[in-house]
Amino acid sequence: MKIVRATAAAFTFATSLVHAASPAATTVSFAALIGLDSPRAEVVDAILENAVDRLAWARAQIGSSRDETTRIVMRAAVQAILVDAERRLVVVLTPEELRRLKAAMAPPRRVALRAG
């Protein structure tokens, strides 16, 4: 379950970057960051892009989560998209590459500021 939550956080982070980016912004190839060869990098980037597109489509179709039913439906849709994306990534990547990809996609940790 931890792997699914970590993947969900990573895809949510990636989705937020897509929505916040301007049309002129360049996209990040997470596959290139972990050192994949070009053909596999293209496949991994396509899988991730497809997942982000599907998440955006689900958000547009389901709408804002103002009630519990909508939140449950959205969680189920996100879960299905993430499981499918991970299933596709497992076919292309080794376990070590998948671990590195998830580490590269993880949102930065927030460091608590201490009053000194």
Angle, CA 87 vertex, CA 16 and CA 40 arms, to 5°? 80
pLDDT in tens, 51-80: 999 999 999 998 887 889 999 999 999 999
- Residue that is written with structure tokens 């960051």 in the block: 33
SS3 for 43-112, per residue? HHHHHHHHHHHHHHHHHHHHCCCCCHHHHHHHHHHHHHHHHHHHHHHHHHCCHHHHHHHHHHHCCCCCCC
What percent of the chain has pLDDT above 90? 42
Instruction: Kindly tell me the sign of the dihedral angle through the C-alpha atoms of 16, 18, 23, 25.
Output: positive
- Of 10-24, 40-54, 102-116, the one with minimum mean pLDDT is 10-24
Q: Which residue has the higher pLDDT, 113 or 103?
A: 103
**Report field, pTM of the whole predicted structure over 0.85:** no
